[in-house]
């Protein structure tokens, strides 16, 4: 029971830190770019995908048991789970569609998936080289 409570606390702490980082990156990018494309969430999701791929490979995380260790709870599930923002990505896409900016919406929607996958693969590759 203590181990479960400790894991929950680590996820909670990591999630708070990750969410704060997401907010900070989004705000910083938003100050520099004021167009229709949601660059802040895009940057967060791509860097988060890279880091998750990199760390999961570097630390040999077995995806059948990815909730089992304190490091995974704090960093992967908590911090990077709080940092990346799939729901905001979906909301951004829906808002662009609602504003009749379907070209930008499609670019963001598909581009985020493709770039996120490439970033995750780059993280996996880089960690494999380092190991």
pLDDT in tens, the chain (131 residues): 888 899 899 999 999 999 999 999 999 998 999 899 999 999 999 999 999 999 988 888 876 666 667 788 899 889 999 999 887 889 899 999 999 999 999 999 999 999 999 999 999 999 999 98
Q: What is the pLDDT of residue 107?
A: 97
Q: What residues form the annotated binding site? A: 81, 84
pLDDT at 1: 82
- Residue 37 is predicted with a pLDDT of 94
pLDDT for residue 66: 64
What is the reported pLDDT for 68?
A: 67
Q: Which residues are annotated as a binding site for Na(+)?
A: 81, 84
Helix intervals (H) in the chain = 2-32, 39-58, 70-71, 81-83, 86-98, 102-130
What is the rounded CA–CA span in Å between residue 108 and residue 67?
30
Query: Is-contact 39 92, C-beta < 8 A?
Result: no
Domains of the chain, residue spans: 2-130
Q: What is the pLDDT of residue 65?
A: 66
Task: Determine contact, residues 19/83, Cβ cutoff 8 Å.
Answer: yes
Question: Is 14 exposed, middle or buried (CB count within 10 Å of its CB: 0-12, 13-18, 19+)?
Answer: buried
Is 63 in contact with 73 (CB distance < 8 Å)? Answer: no
- Could you give the C-alpha distances from 62 to 25, 66, 125, in angstroms and in order? 30, 6, 16
Which residues, including other chains, have CB under 8 Å from residue 99's CB and lie 6 or more apart? Answer: 36
């Amino acid at each position: 029971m203590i181990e479960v409570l400790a894991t929950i606390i680590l996820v909670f702490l990591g999630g708070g830190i990750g969410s704060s980082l997401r907010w900070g990156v989004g705000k910083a990018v938003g100050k520099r770019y004021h167009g229709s494309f949601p660059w802040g969430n895009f940057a967060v999701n791509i860097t988060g995908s890279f880091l998750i791929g990199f760390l999961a490979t570097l630390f040999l995380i077995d995806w059948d048991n990815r909730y089992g260790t304190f490091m995974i709870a704090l960093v992967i599930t908590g911090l990077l789970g709080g940092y990346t923002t799939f729901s905001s990505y979906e909301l951004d896409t829906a808002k662009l569609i609602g504003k009749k900016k379907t070209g930008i919406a499609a670019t963001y929607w598909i581009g985020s998936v493709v770039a996120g996958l490439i970033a995750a693969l780059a993280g996996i590759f880089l960690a494999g080289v380092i190991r």
